[in-house]
Amino acid sequence: MSVGSILPMVANAFKIFGIEVSETIWNIPIIGWIAAIISAIIALITILTEVIETPTEAAERTKATLESASEAANQATEAVNTLRESYEDLAESASKIDELIEGTKEWTEAVRANNQEVLELLNQYKEL
């Protein structure tokens, strides 16, 4: 790449960063090269500040991830406890049916109530 092709790029870089450079300075070869090096350094610093994650940013991201995971774990625990309690209620209802005489009014009502509990569980927990 020649100096002639680099200079317009450097001029554009300076314009992006709000630096005005006169045309006569670009005609001096050493200043053009120095300007190109300075522009490259500025561009590199800009890129690195956007890409590199500081320890504080990493800690904040990790903290947010841990809080999210903790919330998800709490919700899962709560759901498991609710499901377990529902299952225990259903098992208790089924054991009461076993104590009744099949075909009686009480037995029929208990079976209907038990079936209703099962339907409610199926509606609440679609994965069952």
Q: pLDDT tens for residues 115-125?
A: 888 888 888 87
Q: Which sequence spans correspond to the domains of the chain? A: 3-51, 75-124
In this structure, what token pair is assigned to residue 97? 């049916």
Total residue length of the chain: 128
Whether the predicted pLDDT of 26 surpasses 70? no
Whether the predicted pLDDT of 74 surpasses 80? yes
Q: Give yes or no for a contact between 107 and 101, defined as CB atoms under 8 angstroms apart.
A: yes
Whether the predicted pLDDT of 85 surpasses 60? yes
So what's the pLDDT on residue 63? 92
Whether the predicted pLDDT of 109 surpasses 80? yes
Percentage, residues of the chain above pLDDT 70: 74
**pTM, 2 dp:** 0.48
Q: Calculate the alpha carbon distances from 47 to 42, 44, 50, 100, 108 in Å.
A: 9, 5, 5, 77, 75
CA 123 – CA 113 distance, rounded (Å): 15
Q: Give yes or no for a contact between 91 and 117, defined as CB atoms under 8 angstroms apart.
A: no
So what's the pLDDT on residue 102? 85
Whether the predicted pLDDT of 46 surpasses 70? yes
CA 85 – CA 72 distance, rounded (Å): 20
**In the chain, how long is the greatest CA-to-CA distance?**
108
Average pLDDT over the chain, rounded to an integer: 77
